[in-house]
């Protein structure tokens, strides 16, 4: 199949892709329940020969395209659907009409590109052997939407009507990266992000008589500093770990020692081994330091998303498909992972695949000056949208033809 044809096909429907993106952008929804977004997707793709699946836990959708050339592999393409609880200050004429809610992470564009890919691939249906699963997923922004869809059996797996797909791909917009540039890396791409809370429990009293109290504040201070020592002394620099205490709560005034001090922060890791070990080490350290001073500490870890690990074969494959579609310079290997997190990681824990970043800075501008994701002024150059749709379609067609080879 000619891959230039995919880009031409995607460009031919760019009006539809942009319209869907703008409609979703204007009515952003949060969390696991995004019914308006679901309905827009269903309506936009209603004319296509797709089978639809929905699960009880979310408004997520899986659309299945059965190729017309017989059985074969199954490839999954994913786009997330939810927005962020933050105001929009772009001034766009299709800006959010829901106060305090904005598509600032580009998930509106992810949906639109995935819908575009569905349209393009349906037109190629007769030549495709195997199946394409289009995963429209809500609840990415901290809600574990991908895990719910997996648990609902929507992607297949043990005890389901179908096995899990053979490969999975997703794109993420990067508004402050060069126009149309695709980036990726083998191994860890994004970090695991776990929330940490430490409550140091002491006994308050008069600030002039600390010996009659159990002052939690110096103990909290010692824990904060010791956490940084723990990071460098217990963990290899070649498998980085970040612990940041970002919030410190204690006391009410200058002459009262409080009963307790509360620390909150984030722990980022790039391997499952370090993730588990860090949780244990932090607990041991906080409880030990508090105990050494005769106080106690309660450590609570709230697990966020796991590490996003890209399969090396899938990244090589994505690089080849990108170059075939857009030219030699279109793919950039990323030297380092990003310490943010992404719940496509749940899919990649079970299915070999990769996530790629796609640059959305306006052509010819200084992309370093563009607002990044999660900014109230984040904007995307919509001219890149058909590229994203073509890339998703190209990944699917090439994979069904020859796997990662
Ligand atoms: Zn995102």
> What's the whole-model pTM score?
0.93
Question: How far, in Å, CA of 32 to CA of 37, rounded?
Answer: 11
| 52-65 mean pLDDT | 97
61-95 pLDDT, tens digit each? 999 999 999 999 999 999 999 999 999 999 999 99
pLDDT band at 4 (very low <50, low <70, confident <90, very high): confident
Query: Distance, CA 252 to ligand 1 centroid (Å)?
Result: 38
- Bridge partner residues of 255 (DSSP): none
What is the residue-wise DSSP string for 345-400? HHHHHHS-EEEEEEE-SPTTS-GGGS--TT-TT----GGGHHHHHHHHHHHHHHHH
- Domain ranges within the chain, ordered by starting residue: 2-189+307-402, 192-303
The fraction of the chain above a pLDDT of 90, given in percent, is 97
Q: How far is the CA of 374 from the centre of ligand 1 (A)?
A: 8
- What pLDDT was estimated at residue 281? 98
**Mean pLDDT along residues 37-61:** 98
- Are 2-189+307-402 and 192-303 the same fold in CATH? no
Does domain 2-189+307-402 fall under CATH 3.40.50.20? My reply is: no
Distance from Cα 84 to the centre of ligand 1, integer Å: 9
pLDDT tens across 89-140, in order? 999 999 999 999 999 999 999 999 999 999 999 999 999 999 999 999 999 9
For residue 371, the CA-to-ligand 1 centroid distance in Å is 14
- Tell me the C-alpha distance between 210 and 212, whole Å: 5
The token duo for 155 is: 């992607």
pLDDT of residue 364: 87
309 pLDDT higher than 80:
yes
What is the distance in A from the centroid of ligand 1 to the CA of 342?
7
Q: What is the mean pLDDT of the chain?
A: 97
CA of 226 to the centre of ligand 1 (A): 33
Pairing of strands 353-359, 182-184: antiparallel
Give residue 274 CA to ligand 1 midpoint distance, Å: 24
Burial tier of 202 (Cβ tally within 10 Å: 0-12, 13-18, 19+): buried
370 pLDDT above the threshold of 70: yes
Rg (CA), the chain: 24
Average pLDDT over residues 261-277: 97
Q: Decide if pLDDT at 321 tops 90.
A: yes
Please check whether the domain covering 192-303 is classified as CATH 1.10.4080.10: no
Distance of alpha carbon 159 from the chain centroid:
27
Residue 241 reports pLDDT greater than 70: yes
CA of 82 to the centre of ligand 1 (A): 9
pLDDT score of 161 more than 60: yes
The pLDDT score that the predictor gives to residue 268 is: 97
329 alpha carbon to ligand 1 midpoint, in Å?
25
User: What is the whole-number distance in angstroms between the Cα of residue 32 and the centre of ligand 1?
Assistant: 14
């Amino acid at each position: 199949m000619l891959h230039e044809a995919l880009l031409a096909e995607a460009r031919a429907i760019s009006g539809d892709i942009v319209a869907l993106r703008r409609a979703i952008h204007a009515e952003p929804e949060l969390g696991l329940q995004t019914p308006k977004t679901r309905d827009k997707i269903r309506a936009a793709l209603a004319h296509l020969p797709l089978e639809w699946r929905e699960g009880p836990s979310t408004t997520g959708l899986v659309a299945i395209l059965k190729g017309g050339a017989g059985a074969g592999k199954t490839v999954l393409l994913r786009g997330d659907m939810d927005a962020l609880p933050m105001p929009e200050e772009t001034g766009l004429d299709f800006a959010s009409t829901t106060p305090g809610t904005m598509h600032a992470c580009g998930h509106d564009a992810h949906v639109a590109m995935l819908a575009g890919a569905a349209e393009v691939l349906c037109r190629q249906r007769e030549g495709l052997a195997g199946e394409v699963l289009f995963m429209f997923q809500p609840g990415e922004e901290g809600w574990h939407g991908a895990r719910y869809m997996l648990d609902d059996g929507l992607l297949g797996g043990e005890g389901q009507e179908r096995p899990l797909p053979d490969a999975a791909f997703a794109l993420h917009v990067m508004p402050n990266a060069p126009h149309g540039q695709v980036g990726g890396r083998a191994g860890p791409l994004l970090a695991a992000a776990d929330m940490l809370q430490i409550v140091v429990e002491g006994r308050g009293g008069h600030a002039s008589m600390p010996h009659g109290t159990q002052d939690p504040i110096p103990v909290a201070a010692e824990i904060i500093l010791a956490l940084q020592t723990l990071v460098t002394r217990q963990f290899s620099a070649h498998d980085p770990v970040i612990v940041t205490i970002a919030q410190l709560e204690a006391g009410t005034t200058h002459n009262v020692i409080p009963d307790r001090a509360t620390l909150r922060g984030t722990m980022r890791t790039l391997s499952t081994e370090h993730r588990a070990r860090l949780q244990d080490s932090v607990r041991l350290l906080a409880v030990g330091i508090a105990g050494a001073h005769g106080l106690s500490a309660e450590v609570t870890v709230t697990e966020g998303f796991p590490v996003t690990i890209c399969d090396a074969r899938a990244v090589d494959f994505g690089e080849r498909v990108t170059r075939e579609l857009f030219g030699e310079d279109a793919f950039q290997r990323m030297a380092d992972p990003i310490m943010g997190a992404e719940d496509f990681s749940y899919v990649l824990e079970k299915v070999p695949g990769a996530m790629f970043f796609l640059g959305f800075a306006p052509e010819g501008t200084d992309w370093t000056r563009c607002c990044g994701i999660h900014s109230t002024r984040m904007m995307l150059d919509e001219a890149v949208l058909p590229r994203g749709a073509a890339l998703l379609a190209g990944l699917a067609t090439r994979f069904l033809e020859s796997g990662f080879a």
